[in-house]
Chain A
């Protein structure tokens, strides 16, 4: 049987601890029959063993021993699902503030955030932080499950209160698509099947909203960007330059610029996993031949217009995950595309107040704070603003001693900051 090509939606759950993210994903997967019999049996057995009822749906994704003991999510679980209309990669993220770095991990590759809010609590600070991080990371569509409706007797006004608060924030953060739904993840209302308990609601179920979401990978990127990962020597002495393409398409004959050297040249051949091709699209790993003799290598970037910026100093938005605060003058290692270089924080211009989205002046960033900084790099970097290109606009900061990843960075500044 040849399966028809289905498009893929990558989504991440977002929201404060205990609001029901994992339960909702468990419910979605169980009610759409994505679990194998033995997996469902194992969840039932684990629920019984831990005395949490017949079927604790959060155990579908909370698979670690510590998670099941403590009843919280610690790290992202990835699940793969397919309904008749769509394929999904689901990242079920932790809500606890201590694991914000893991939530950012899950959300950084998501096109849509499935926001879960407890109807009785509304937007907690941690919900606001998660929404803010999701927006910074470039998520433009959200589906908001206003959860635990069973605990407020399906009250429309309780639902509406949370939706009003959420809409205000979503508006400020600039999400392009916001769909709110009253649900009970525990009981399944409005998750896969419409609920008889919310006759006042005429919107979609969570599944319907996900299946029909227009959230897609970024279309804004205009120029082609091919960061060189590796140089392949060809028989007969030529070289090709390998990397994963993003942004615009690349075609044999295209005039390109090799950066940071700023050499104009032409693509003379493109190879991919399935052989030579005339045209490559975003997300493909390719290697290309150029018509000029260059000393191009790993860390260089092949681009078409509009060209990115070559710089050794740039402004960025930083999500700081280090245990000790980030300070002005601090030295770190930066990884941007295939380039690694030492950097120094030359200025910290402010820290985001999660409650108000105002920028407070500050000279350091505490763990899990978001701030604006200026970075100086030892080597020239070839960057785009993050909002123009998610690949050439993003970087991570690395502790030079432990090699731990301590920050997510985005070149430039979001409109809402």
Chain B
């Protein structure tokens, strides 16, 4: 073979390698499991995951449905985005509602303003059982939290949906093995090795669509527990709190009542990348009330079967 004709146009950078690894994981799980599903929250990580899934199986349709665990406390912009994004891939959307779990008496209604974050686990596990899913793709990244930093790319869940961090399967090289017995399932995390910055650089490179709340916009917010919460149907103003109109954006997308906004002027992807590059507070630390309960909040929720 002669070398002088080698094209140099396509160099491989770190985003290509992250993309390739994620695509490899998606294909491997689909090949090894019977009924996978992709968990889609409408946040940036699940947006990237869906984008990668579409690439992994193009030009064919996604070989699995997309599932949203709907707490009923969403930002409307995120629901709009969910429907838009799923429709663009032609995937089948399954919506499992926390409200149904409440109506069936499986979980206790925390009231209109209470957080439904933890209740999602019940809805999620029920939906996995009901549909017979044996693998669920999630957009979790290891840089998000110290418990996630410990998790395998293919993470085994027992018949009760639980994660046992002491009994994780060895995961050598890139030999992801996804066999489970009936009733058990896997969580698969193709974005494990991505950082928040990688996600934004990739979104910029691919010029992806995202919910508008990721970009700086004016909003009525209140300061509670050191976090800027958006005033709306799920966050009522308590005595002593004052509404302020601020230029904010969201760094993560969760329930409207436990996801804080950050003060920001970043209106474009490149401005967001600049901001993320110099941030000195972590993504979840800045914005997620659900992680502030205790030292091991994420681990405890994960053990129960959370995302």
Q: Which residues of A contact B (CB under 8 A)?
A: 1, 3, 5-6, 8, 36-39, 42, 45-46, 49, 61, 63-66, 68, 74-80, 87, 89, 101-102, 104-105, 108-109, 229-230, 232-235, 242-244, 249, 251, 254, 272-274, 277-279, 281, 283-285, 298, 321, 333, 335-336, 338, 340, 390-391, 394-396, 398, 402-405, 408
Interface stretch (choices B86-94, B98-106, B273-281)? B273-281
Interface of A is mostly: mixed
Closest to B180 in A: A403
In the complex, B207 has a CB within 8 A of chain A: no
Query: Among A5, A37, A273, which residue has its beta carbon within 8 angstroms of that of B23?
Result: A273
- With contacts A338-B31, A394-B173 known, is A65 near B193, CB below 8 A? no
**A338 CA to B12 CA in the complex, in Å?**
24
Number of A-B residue pairs with CB-CB distance less than 8 Å in the complex they form: 190
> Is there contact, CB below 8 Å, between B20 and A38?
no
Chain A residues with CB under 8 A of B16 = 272-274, 284
Chain A residues with CB under 8 A of B142 = 78-80
Closest to B303 in A: A65
> Is there contact, CB below 8 Å, between A244 and B20?
yes
Query: Among B6, B59, B166, B300, which residue has its beta carbon within 8 angstroms of that of A74?
Result: B166
- With contacts A38-B281, A39-B282, A408-B172 known, is A230 near B31, CB below 8 A? yes
B246-276 CB contacts (< 8 Å) to partner A: 270, 273-274
Residue total for B at the interface (Cβ-Cβ under 8 A): 68
**A311 CA to B31 CA in the complex, in Å?**
24
> Is there contact, CB below 8 Å, between B147 and A405?
no
Chain B residues with CB under 8 A of A108 = 172-173
B56-90 CB contacts (< 8 Å) to partner A: 56-60
In the complex, B143 has a CB within 8 A of chain A: yes
> Is there contact, CB below 8 Å, between B175 and A105?
no
Chain A residues with CB under 8 A of B146 = 61, 63-64, 77
**A6 CA to B14 CA in the complex, in Å?**
8
**A284 CA to B19 CA in the complex, in Å?**
8
**A298 CA to B195 CA in the complex, in Å?**
31
Q: List 15 A-B contacts (CB under 8 A).
A: A1-B273, A36-B285, A65-B300, A74-B166, A101-B170, A105-B172, A230-B30, A230-B57, A235-B59, A244-B174, A272-B16, A278-B10, A321-B170, A403-B180, A408-B172
Chain A residues with CB under 8 A of B7 = 277-279
Chain B residues with CB under 8 A of A5 = 13-14
> Is there contact, CB below 8 Å, between B31 and A234?
no
> Is there contact, CB below 8 Å, between A405 and B172?
yes
CB distance from A230 to the nearest CB of B (A): 5
Most buried by B among A75, A243, A402, A408: A75
Most buried by B among A45, A61, A87, A335: A335
> Is there contact, CB below 8 Å, between B168 and A75?
yes
Chain A residues with CB under 8 A of B24 = 229, 243-244, 285
B273-300 CB contacts (< 8 Å) to partner A: 273-274, 277, 279-282, 285-286, 295-296, 299-300
Known interface pairs A65-B300, A105-B172, A285-B27; 13 further A-B residue pairs with C-beta atoms within 8 A, sorted by A's residue number = A3-B201, A38-B281, A64-B299, A65-B295, A66-B165, A74-B166, A79-B143, A80-B193, A108-B172, A272-B16, A279-B10, A402-B181, A404-B169
In the complex, B218 has a CB within 8 A of chain A: no
**A36 CA to B251 CA in the complex, in Å?**
15
Chain B residues with CB under 8 A of A66 = 165-166
Chain A residues with CB under 8 A of B197 = 3
Chain B residues with CB under 8 A of A283 = 12, 17, 20-21
B118-171 CB contacts (< 8 Å) to partner A: 142-143, 145-147, 149-150, 152, 165-166, 168-171
CB distance from B5 to the nearest CB of A (A): 9
Closest to B6 in A: A279
- With contacts A64-B147, A408-B172 known, is A281 near B177, CB below 8 A? no
> Is there contact, CB below 8 Å, between B168 and A3?
no
> Is there contact, CB below 8 Å, between B282 and A77?
no
Chain A residues with CB under 8 A of B165 = 64, 66, 74-75
> Is there contact, CB below 8 Å, between B299 and A80?
no
Chain B residues with CB under 8 A of A36 = 279-282, 285
CB distance from B176 to the nearest CB of A (A): 9
CB distance from B212 to the nearest CB of A (A): 23
- With contacts A1-B277, A273-B16, A281-B12 known, is A396 near B143, CB below 8 A? no
> Is there contact, CB below 8 Å, between A396 and B10?
no
In the complex, B220 has a CB within 8 A of chain A: no
Chain A residues with CB under 8 A of B280 = 36-37
CB distance from B300 to the nearest CB of A (A): 8
